[in-house]
Amino acid sequence: MKRIRIATRRSELALAQSGWFARELERELRVATELVPLETSGDRIAGSLAAVGGKGLFVKEIQEALLSGHADLAVHSAKDLPAQTPAALRIAAVPRREDPRDALVAREPGMSLAALPRGARIGTGSVRRSAQLLRYRSDLTIVPLRGNVPTRLRKLESEALDAVVLACAGLARLSLEAHIRERISEAVVLPAVGQGALAIEARRGEALAEDLAALDDAATAIELAAERGFQARLGGDCAVPIAAHARLEGGRLVLTGLVITPDGSRVAAGQLSGSEQGARALGQTLAEQVLGAGGREILAVSRGTR
């Protein structure tokens, strides 16, 4: 039986995601699988990713393993993928998306973002999250936070935080949903591009890339194409607070996107709807509108203060 080698990060969440996909692959294509865990540059850096290259550091070594033939496919968190990927690779499948929203994990039971005490200390390593949290409540104290999901949960106590903000999807995939105190409304914190989705990457032109289409969720793939179109036109990375979320509603694709200054004081946002056949173009069109509504100046400020 053919064995498919799956490149993945070493984190607990990445291994859980890749393990789930491996089982789906075995069931659908009747193949054997083998995980190839890799430590990425992003995993080795303790400080701010924004200062040294952004989220692409979480995929660089994994893509190199694909390009060199040391792996046959890769499982990524879609939000970690840069807007541009190597020409020799392609996103061959996008499985069904988990909840794309952010989650408030607070020390106090029943706590919500609105009910947190004035000056509450909230841990997050995301400039997108921190900017939108400060826009919603300028009194909050944002505490920079790195590490995998279990590490961040432990820091809730060890660093005397009132709450941490994590992705609902990551908590669900690790069976940690019980920690969620509030699923934060997208009207308050719009998700990252691709949040909650997995992107399965393979070498372009190979039969496996075509076979993976059997595991593709059409709706999620369309939504992700719109969000990545928005990201690509803005040239976004994790150093710049960009957010976007698309959803199919009655055969129409609705996309919301924004750019925001790191302190949350200025925002340019918009929403468009269109045909699902023109998903990426819809994202690019919304990006142009956001740029014209003040987004260009906000991006310049954000990039100048990295």
Q: Is 139 a catalytic residue?
A: no
Q: Are 230 and 253 in contact (CB under 8 A)?
A: no
Q: Which of 192, 52, 56, 55 has its CA nearest to residue 128?
A: 192
Q: Are 172 and 149 in contact (CB under 8 A)?
A: no
Say which of 72, 80, 162, 211 is annotated catalytic. Answer: 80
How many other C-beta atoms can be found within 10 angstroms of the C-beta atom of residue 304?
A: 7
| 3-class DSSP assignment, residue 216 | coil
Q: Are 93 and 215 in contact (CB under 8 A)?
A: yes
* Beta bridge partners of residue 91, listed in sequence order: 201
Distances from the Cα of 81 to the Cα of 20, 76, 78, 227, 236, angstroms: 19, 7, 6, 12, 11
Q: In terms of C-beta density within 10 A (0-12 exposed, 13-18 middle, 19 or more buried), how is residue 247 classed?
A: middle
Catalytic residues: 80
